[in-house]
Structure 1
Amino acid sequence: MGTTTAWMTTDAAHMMRPLALAAPGHAPIDDELTFDHGVRHQRIAGFGASFTDSSAFLVNGLDGGEKRTVMQRLFSSDKGIGLSLLRNPIGASDYARWVYSYDDMAGGVSDEHLDHFSIEHDRADILPLTAWAMRINPDLRLIASPWSAPGWMKDSGTMISGSLLKRWYGVYADYLVAFIKAYADEGVDVHAITIQNEPLFEPSHYPGMPLSAREAVDFVLRHLRPALHAAGLRTRIFGYDHNWDHPEYPEYLLAHAAEAFDGIAWHWYGGEPSVQSLLSRRFGDKPVYFTEGSGGDWIPAFEAAFSNVMRSGIDILRHRSRSFMLWNIALDERNGPVVPGFGRSTCRGLLRIGKGKRVEYTLDYYGLGHFSSVIRPGATRIESSQTPSIRTLACDNPDGSTGYVFFNDTQRSRYVHAGDGALDVAVSMPPKSALSIIARGGDSGEVGA
């Protein structure tokens, strides 16, 4: 007989509570779930969030013992939820204490040869925490995304609004290569970059830079790919990095330069995740990565917000994504810090670090943990049945275990039976509850009251 470990979330006071197994009962089954380990889908890269400038500043400002606890609870698979991906901004995002790039120049001066390039800003908080996370979890990979080129490369002369001038395409490619090489010199490998965060949106109150699909193809084919090759770098390039509601953008990328992109990255702020798999199938199973979805005040906590994380995460991964990533790792009691002039922030981090450096683990931490605690990097998603009430996800891990994630998306308790070669359990799932199970070998039991 194998071993099975389970965690359940039922409400804000009971998040990811360990659940003991008991002998199977004889109550009528509401939902029968089946699994086929022979039908195999995408390889899972992992789960994570972002050390934005704000997040890294808050976490690194904790006292030593509390900081170690936070890092272990984030990145250790034994002492925490085992996050295995980071998506960090290249320069300032909206969640930074000020606007900065790695080559800021004043008074309209340019720096064609990048003589003033420096990642000194990141050495204070972002780099040491990223390196520490990699030591805790050696499987962790870093994705990096720019919100804007340095202002002197843009027609606006600033990182807030404005487009990249075509005459600087080559220099901007060199800038991104310089970032990757500088991080490597610090012992931090950049696994992949996206070429522009949310290229279809031009914010007026934080760094951003519109980039059309045609411009993206030109930049990658003629400048970024050759620059990476010349530098001997194998960093992957993910295209798009924006919402599901404009699939024509990544479709153009793949129709005109499929070989130049190692995957397509998606966000959840518009549209439906089904476009991920539709586009991937059309273009030779092009890899899919979900790189950003933030929780926030626009979806009320607890039930609606937690349900959104669970429902969306399962759907995203069932539609071929190799990753599921939320946004800020940590924010303060005002949902910041944010760049000057941003206004009121409504986003929620995995952690809330408030006055007195009090750390609160939010519903997003536990929602993401329901996935990352049982599905390891390198896992393969297998076929799993769903019912109108119970959403499911199942993955075979590299160590031979199988991770299962179930979500009861109804307002009624459901008595669920889940069975295959690795698992045979009967589970009582309260309304809007989530259950994660990791099974090693054959096991049977009954979970719940």
Structure 2
Amino acid sequence: MSSYGLGRRQFLATAVGVAAAWTQVSGNAVAAPQLTQAASRGNSVRVWLTDVSADEWVVSRSDVLFKARRTANPLTIKIDDSVRYQKVQGFGAAMTDSSAWLIDKLSTAERTELMKKLFDPAKGIGLSLLRSPMGATDFNASGNYSYNDMPAGQTDPKLSDFSIQHDVPYIIPALREALSLNPSIKIMANPWSPPGWMKTSDSMIGGTLKSEYTSALANYFVKFIQAYGEAGVPISYISPQNEPMGTPTWPGMFLSAYQESELIQEIGKAFEANGISTKILAWDHNWDVPSYPETIFSDPAASKYTAGTGWHIYSGDPNYQTLVHNDYPSKETYITEATGGVWQDSNQTAFSEALGTWIIKGTRNWANGVMLWNIALDPDRGPLNSDTAGIPMLRGLLTIDPADGRVSYNVDYHALAHASRFVKPGAHRIYSNTFGEGSIENVAFQNPDGSKVLIAYNSGSAAKTFSVADGTHSFDYTLNAGDAVTFTYSGPTRSGRTPAATKVSDPTHDFTFKSPSGPVTVTYDPALLPYQNAIRTGNKLVTYSLPVGASIQTTGGALSRGKWTATASAQPDWGVAANAIDGDISTRWSLGHGTTSGDWFQIDLGSPTSFNKIVFDTGVNNSFDYVTRYQIYVSNDGVDWGSAIASGSGGIGKVAVTLPTRTAQYIRIVSTAASGFWWAIGDIDVYGSSRGAGSITAPTAVSNGLQLKTWTSKEGEQVAVVFNGTAGSRSFKVSADGSYTYTLPSGTSAMFTTKKLSSFPTPVFSSLTPDQGMPRSKFTIRGSGFGDAQGLGTVYFGSSYAEIDSWSDTSISAYVPRGLPSGKVAVSVKGAGGVHAGGSSFDVMDLGPALSRTGWTAKASDASQWDAPGNMLDGNSDTRYSSGTGQYDGLWIQVDMGQTQTFSRIVLDVGGSVSDYARSADIHVSADGTDWTKVSSVTDGQRVHLVSFPTQTARYIKVVNTGNVARSWWSVAEFNVYD
């Protein structure tokens, strides 16, 4: 009997039992449909539906049948199991201390039932990945602990006092029970903090690793894995540090990419010496810092021990996973932490993020597995670590009330079930086209037994009927807005006949190459282009990737800096612009605040000069203060900057910008993205050449073992991908005159996309609203042909760049530049192709002097321990009031002006923050602080918000938040009142 036939029979036999079991697990009394005669031929498709609005979760519905027919439906999902992508290890969540403690509080019968619903592949949702923190996190039933705590001032580099005893009573038993129910479970472990004595803070909180304890920390991992193994809990994966670029008020530790690279080398050597096969994942933090894991991959000594990347979902988007995969296609990819919480306004929002973004988009972007955060929390969203200032705003898969043992299964549990119940460990993602946000989003898999799984979610606002085509067969299905469905089937691919799908739209393309470890696939997706480097050269736009470790060499050398001067949009006394051109990497320019779109650094070369490359370096071992996205402008007079000539994604360490040869006196680097990190430059070099006017072009031929593949999209983009499957770095030419050479490290790929500028639509400026406002207030430009992403596009206020909030083909949201004088100013848009879109006039307002705040006081319903309410009255925008908690309806701030005043406007200024402002609020006034009158409402809050109302005479002003934005605190740097 063929393996395919055996797999099909096993699948059909299992399906009957699954239906009955699932009816119990989902809590919905839905009868299992009977298998039809067609089912025995493999044409039957099982259907499992979630209707969030009806509170129906992963409910069995009537089978649908594949039919031998063609479909011309434009919403056709084509399934092709001959195209296989990553192997899937599973789906799961974290057995935190709090989760295990709550599970342990249940009676034996309650615990057994719950664990089956979580982990049993036949009677539950079959979770197959578990994250197990190594020591304390913010979710602990007890306080801070590690496995090697010492009294203050004492150390234990030999780890003589190492012990996992804390985990013995309830964490290890929970993990062992999960493994007994599902032996295929793989466990990932990692610390939020190593023992405090290993760190500069001498505490579980804050600090960084002392270099002398790198080896001790590596042995700490060895001892943990050995101890857990002896306890019956094998560890499949570790990461060196949870969220290494953050130090919260609970256990945490800064760890630069360079420190982590060194630590991974030590851990890898220690694992080798002790026969440990546990895999190491780098990073374990948010999507939007791809250069951190790539910095580790670019170090051969660390890369050989690093299996892949762990990603968190709290900033950025899943496209970054594919970006890193394409650069280093042999590395694995995992979403290691994702959670919902009180900031999600409904179950529908929560379900959309969990299934649509983390599971569907996560796996479409090469995730080998997806892990959510806490398996279980209590009704108060805890227990929280009693030794730290944790924030009770997260949601577990389950809510367990320890008082009565009641268990609630939350939306995240059901979202996971759409995948974990049906996609088995060892499955492969297979080809399916998808339609993106606002339509039918989907992902497909093939299990080890040959059965197939298609998960589809309607993220649109109306019901949609789509077709599913597999080989020569297809079926139709209608999915209401917000609903999701999982289809499972064992067929019906029929080879040698006319395919069922006749109209399939897919802008992506796969390139498969040979490597020593087997085939690797690199994916072209136009959604990746905004994250890559772009230059305008002649009549073309060339976009290209540049993995960390790769480089482009140009002719010529570094120019003399003898006549240079430097300026910047901001420069603190201790971080002046001149520090970046003094030849001393230890001194640096710093922006002095979190980066916003529109911040800039500028060089005056002293006279018109030819150049073709700029290299700016954040400084020695600095993983933090870097620009995340940028544009390059040049000018001959320092006033007229024209259109951007290059753009890129920035990154840790050195950023090299290769340009078409230009002659200009001024160079300006402009940030085009907001970031919580500052931007710094330790040193900057500009390179020039007297050889012609070279420019980057896509390669047309390669040698020395390199592999080149090309493809042209229906829209005319020409895509070329080079893969280096050799054991060392290899180079190839990327300019027509041979003057530019690209060097590609072993195991990496480079992608080039070329598009004619004439193919861009002509941008058209239609309207500007509002047409007056204060500096730093928000405005919206509408029109067409702007481009789907900012790219090389620019919005000018006179000669000043506007800070961009969002950019789409028909709408640009931006902020009035700071520092503009009052009066009329011309606003203009230049598209990515350099074409002027037109413009309008904007009236920059002058509010006149604010009322004197002498004697004023402030208070608030909630305030952080660092940011007192009085800070918003001190005249210093670098200090601020902060709520210290996520925004909620009813949160308020109040100002007492000391005496009755007459006024008609207030300004709420959040200062340097990019997100901590009230999205909606009511404004009240009072003469006595007791009887209040509502005078205005804010429904479109901004970072700097002017609120106008009829003239009032009062002493007190109260602003009451009316929204829920739990991910953002509410901050006010300055509170000003005007008559």
Q: TM-score scaled to structure 1, two decimals?
A: 0.94
The answer to whether the 8 Å contact 2:309/2:331 transfers is yes
> CA 1:84–1:422 in 2, change beyond 3 Å: closer, same or farther?
farther
Displacement of 1:23 after TM fit?
Answer: 6.4
Displacement of 1:441 after TM fit?
Answer: 3.0
Q: How many angstroms apart in 1 are the aligned matches of 2:65 and 2:171?
A: 48
User: What is residue 360 of structure 1 aligned with on the other side?
Assistant: 408
Mapping for residues 367-446 of structure 1, pairs under 5 Å: 367-388=415-436, 389-421=439-471, 424-442=474-492
Displacement of 1:195 after TM fit?
Answer: 0.6
User: What is residue 363 of structure 2 aligned with on the other side?
Assistant: 317
| Equivalent in 237, 240, 245 of residue 288 of structure 2 | 245
Structure 1 stretch displaced more, 295-304 or 1-10 = 1-10
Deviations 1:45-88 (A, max 9, x none): 11010100000001121111111111111111111111100011
Displacement of 1:255 after TM fit?
Answer: 1.1
Specify the SS of the correspondent of 1:334: coil
Q: How many angstroms apart in 1 are the aligned matches of 2:220 and 2:472?
A: 49
User: What is residue 447 of structure 1 aligned with on the other side?
Assistant: none
Q: Does 2:249 correspond to 1:199?
A: no
Please list every run of 5 or more consecutive structure 2 residues that lacks an aligned counterpart in the other structure. Answer: 1-40, 494-979
> CA 1:114–1:420 in 2, change beyond 3 Å: closer, same or farther?
same
| Equivalent in 90, 94, 119 of residue 138 of structure 2 | 94
Q: Does 2:316 correspond to 1:274?
A: no
The answer to whether the 8 Å contact 1:374/1:437 transfers is no
Structure 1 stretch displaced more, 192-201 or 1-10 = 1-10
Specify the SS of the correspondent of 1:147: coil
Q: How many angstroms apart in 1 are the aligned matches of 2:79 and 2:390?
A: 48
For the aligned residue pairs, the C-alpha RMSD in angstroms reads 1.9
Displacement of 1:324 after TM fit?
Answer: 0.9
Q: Does 2:395 correspond to 1:348?
A: yes
2:263 partner letter? F
Mapping for residues 295-310 of structure 1, pairs under 5 Å: 295-310=340-355
Displacement of 1:30 after TM fit?
Answer: 7.0
Please list every run of 5 or more consecutive structure 1 residues that lacks an aligned counterpart in the other structure. Answer: 444-449
The answer to whether the 8 Å contact 1:328/1:348 transfers is yes
Deviations 1:176-204 (A, max 9, x none): 1100000011111101101100000011x
Q: Does 2:222 correspond to 1:174?
A: no
> CA 1:35–1:62 in 2, change beyond 3 Å: closer, same or farther?
same
2:482 partner letter? K
Displacement of 1:258 after TM fit?
Answer: 2.1
Displacement of 1:420 after TM fit?
Answer: 1.0
Q: How many angstroms apart in 2 are the aligned matches of 1:435 and 1:57?
A: 34
Q: How many angstroms apart in 2 are the aligned matches of 1:291 and 1:79?
A: 25
Displacement of 1:37 after TM fit?
Answer: 1.0
Displacement of 1:24 after TM fit?
Answer: 8.2
Displacement of 1:167 after TM fit?
Answer: 1.0
| Equivalent in 18, 21, 25 of residue 60 of structure 2 | 18
Deviations 1:158-177 (A, max 9, x none): 10111111111111111111
The answer to whether the 8 Å contact 1:328/1:349 transfers is yes
User: What is residue 185 of structure 2 aligned with on the other side?
Assistant: 140
> CA 1:22–1:84 in 2, change beyond 3 Å: closer, same or farther?
closer
Structure 1 stretch displaced more, 61-70 or 15-24 = 15-24
The answer to whether the 8 Å contact 2:80/2:471 transfers is no
| Equivalent in 295, 306, 313 of residue 261 of structure 1 | 306
Specify the SS of the correspondent of 2:99: helix
> CA 1:320–1:423 in 2, change beyond 3 Å: closer, same or farther?
farther
| Equivalent in 40, 45, 54 of residue 4 of structure 1 | 45
Instruction: Point out which structure has higher relative CO (alpha carbons under 8 A, 6+ apart).
Output: 1
1:327 partner letter? W
User: What is residue 220 of structure 1 aligned with on the other side?
Assistant: 264
Structure 1 stretch displaced more, 300-309 or 360-369 = 300-309
User: What is residue 949 of structure 2 aligned with on the other side?
Assistant: none
Q: How many angstroms apart in 1 are the aligned matches of 2:290 and 2:491?
A: 41
Q: How many angstroms apart in 2 are the aligned matches of 1:34 and 1:45?
A: 24
Q: Does 2:81 correspond to 1:81?
A: no
Displacement of 1:209 after TM fit?
Answer: 0.7
Percent identity, aligned pairs only, is 38
The answer to whether the 8 Å contact 1:88/1:142 transfers is yes
Specify the SS of the correspondent of 1:56: helix
Specify the SS of the correspondent of 1:356: coil
Structure whose residues are more often strand by fraction:
2
Deviations 1:97-127 (A, max 9, x none): 2111011111321112212111111111111
> CA 1:422–1:55 in 2, change beyond 3 Å: closer, same or farther?
farther
The answer to whether the 8 Å contact 1:245/1:272 transfers is yes
> CA 1:8–1:241 in 2, change beyond 3 Å: closer, same or farther?
same
Q: How many angstroms apart in 2 are the aligned matches of 1:251 and 1:24?
A: 44
1:408 partner letter? N
Q: How many angstroms apart in 2 are the aligned matches of 1:367 and 1:423?
A: 28
Displacement of 1:155 after TM fit?
Answer: 1.4
Structure 1 stretch displaced more, 385-394 or 39-48 = 385-394
Displacement of 1:391 after TM fit?
Answer: 0.5
| Equivalent in 351, 355, 375 of residue 329 of structure 1 | 375
Specify the SS of the correspondent of 2:229: helix
Specify the SS of the correspondent of 2:435: coil
Displacement of 1:332 after TM fit?
Answer: 0.4
User: In the comparison of the two structures, how many residue pairs are matched?
Assistant: 441
Q: Does 2:82 correspond to 1:34?
A: no
1:252 partner letter? T
Q: How many angstroms apart in 2 are the aligned matches of 1:432 and 1:159?
A: 43
User: What is residue 446 of structure 1 aligned with on the other side?
Assistant: none
Specify the SS of the correspondent of 1:405: strand
Structure whose residues are more often helix by fraction:
1
User: What is residue 275 of structure 2 aligned with on the other side?
Assistant: 232
The answer to whether the 8 Å contact 2:309/2:334 transfers is yes
Q: How many angstroms apart in 1 are the aligned matches of 2:216 and 2:62?
A: 58
The answer to whether the 8 Å contact 1:422/1:439 transfers is no
The answer to whether the 8 Å contact 1:28/1:415 transfers is no
Displacement of 1:426 after TM fit?
Answer: 2.2
The answer to whether the 8 Å contact 1:197/1:242 transfers is yes
Q: How many angstroms apart in 1 are the aligned matches of 2:334 and 2:52?
A: 29
| Equivalent in 203, 206, 217 of residue 158 of structure 1 | 203
Structure 1 stretch displaced more, 102-111 or 193-202 = 102-111
Structure 1 stretch displaced more, 28-37 or 284-293 = 28-37
1:322 partner letter? N
Q: How many angstroms apart in 2 are the aligned matches of 1:236 and 1:76?
A: 25
The answer to whether the 8 Å contact 2:430/2:444 transfers is yes
Specify the SS of the correspondent of 2:246: coil
2:352 partner letter? S
Q: How many angstroms apart in 1 are the aligned matches of 2:428 and 2:229?
A: 29
1:9 partner letter? T
Deviations 1:205-256 (A, max 9, x none): 21001100000111111x2111111111111100000001111111211111
